């Protein structure tokens, strides 16, 4: 029996009432809320590590985390116990969707080779009611082919300084965008456009600034060619506004096969 065991969990959460993933002294984070549930279950004070630090109001469909627990409880027990203690603490907005025992060196952040995000736009003449905290509302029709044409310049390895928050602390602004797709989805409450992003990693606010810039093109205020000029400029002031947090979802991370 080992002294402790490393767990790899997948989380779904509604980011609406949280200051983001990361623990903060003066605000409620997903991380602190989860760690409190881990403590109530295990009596262990543990630090969790996540694949992606979501900002205030950003949701997760599949956040990936790791942490160690004393002993070796079964992964499904950990999953169900944390869901129980989260709800006992009135945190109905966080769910552990999957749990597995990982090898002792597994690292949810450093081992992630690829990260996926989803951004949801509701394109409709009237605002959403049921999904008001789940999508960005766009009142006017958008030119999707123009947005797709523009977005293609972002594929590959680039300096994404133009699409980076002033407060971003990453050491380098070079990232490799592996895919960026725009698809139309018809849901019960309207027509949505889903933007899906895959890269080795993302800078702070990178997706939201890209979406804000693509919307300027979709609304035909900018020509599609302007996106490449913005990218080349490497200046945040050239790019569009930061799109609202409520439309953004951390959608997963990929890890190499276990050696």
Catalytically active residues, by annotation: 55
Nearer of residues 7 and 160 to its own copies, judged by Cβ: 7
- Work out whether 94 is an interface residue with its own copies (CB under 8 A): yes
The torsion defined by the Cα of 141, 199, 235 and 50, in degrees rounded to 10, comes to 100
State yes or no: residue 90 binds its own copies (CB under 8 A): no
- Which DSSP letter does residue 87 get? H
Q: Is 79 in the site for its own copies (CB under 8 A)?
A: yes
Give the relative orientation of helices 226-233 and 144-151 as an angle to the nearest 10 degrees: 30
- Shortest Å distance, C-beta 216 to its own copies: 24
Scan residues 101-140 and list those touching its own copies (CB under 8 A): 118, 124, 126-130, 132, 134
143 binds its own copies (CB under 8 A): no
If one asks whether residue 238 binds its own copies (CB under 8 A), the answer comes out as no
When the beta carbons of 97 and 149 are compared against its own copies, the nearer one is 97
Residue from 5, 33, 64, 83 in contact with its own copies (CB under 8 A): 83
The CA–CA distances, whole Å, from 255 to 22, 110, 200, 225, 258 equal 21, 10, 11, 35, 8
- Which long-range CB contacts under 8 A does 178-184 form with residues at least 24 apart? 178/114, 179/155, 180/151, 180/152, 180/154, 180/155, 182/144, 182/147, 182/148, 182/151, 184/144
Q: Which is nearer to its own copies, 10 or 154 (CB)?
A: 10
**Complex with its own copies: residue 196 or 226, whichever CB lies closer:** 196
Please tell me the distance from the alpha carbon of residue 31 to that of residue 16, in angstroms, as a whole number. 14
Question: Does the footprint of its own copies cover residue 207 (CB under 8 A)?
Answer: no
Please report whether residue 92 would count as binding its own copies according to CB under 8 A: yes
Report CA Rg, the chain.
Answer: 19
User: According to CB under 8 A, which one of 188, 256, 258, 259 is a site residue for its own copies?
Assistant: 188
> Under the criterion CB under 8 A, does residue 249 sit at the interface with its own copies?
yes
């Amino acid at each position: 029996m080992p002294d402790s065991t490393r767990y790899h969990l997948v989380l779904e959460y509604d980011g609406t009432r949280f200051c983001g993933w990361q623990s903060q002294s003066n605000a409620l984070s997903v991380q602190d809320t989860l760690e409190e549930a881990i403590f109530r279950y295990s009596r262990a004070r543990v630090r969790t590590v996540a694949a992606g630090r979501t900002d205030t109001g950003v949701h997760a469909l599949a956040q990936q985390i790791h942490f160690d627990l004393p002993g070796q409880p079964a992964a499904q027990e950990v999953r169900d116990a944390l869901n129980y203690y989260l709800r006992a603490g009135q945190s109905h907005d966080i769910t552990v969707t999957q749990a597995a025992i990982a090898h002792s060196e597994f690292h949810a952040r450093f081992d992630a080779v690829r990260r996926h995000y989803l951004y949801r736009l509701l394109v409709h003449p009237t605002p959403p009611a049921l999904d008001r905290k789940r999508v960005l509302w766009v009142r006017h029709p958008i030119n999707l082919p123009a947005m797709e044409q523009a977005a293609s310049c972002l594929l590959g390895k680039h300096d994404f300084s133009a699409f980076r928050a002033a407060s971003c602390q990453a050491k380098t602004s070079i990232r490799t965008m592996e895919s960026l797709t725009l698809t139309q989805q018809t849901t019960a409450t309207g027509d949505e456009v889903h933007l899906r992003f895959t890269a080795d990693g993302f800078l702070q606010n990178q997706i939201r600034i890209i979406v804000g810039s693509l919307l300027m093109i979709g609304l035909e205020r900018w020509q599609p060619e302007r996106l490449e000029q913005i990218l080349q400029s490497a200046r945040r002031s050239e790019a569009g506004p930061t799109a609202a947090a409520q439309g953004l979802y951390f959608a997963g991370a990929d890890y190499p096969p276990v050696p």
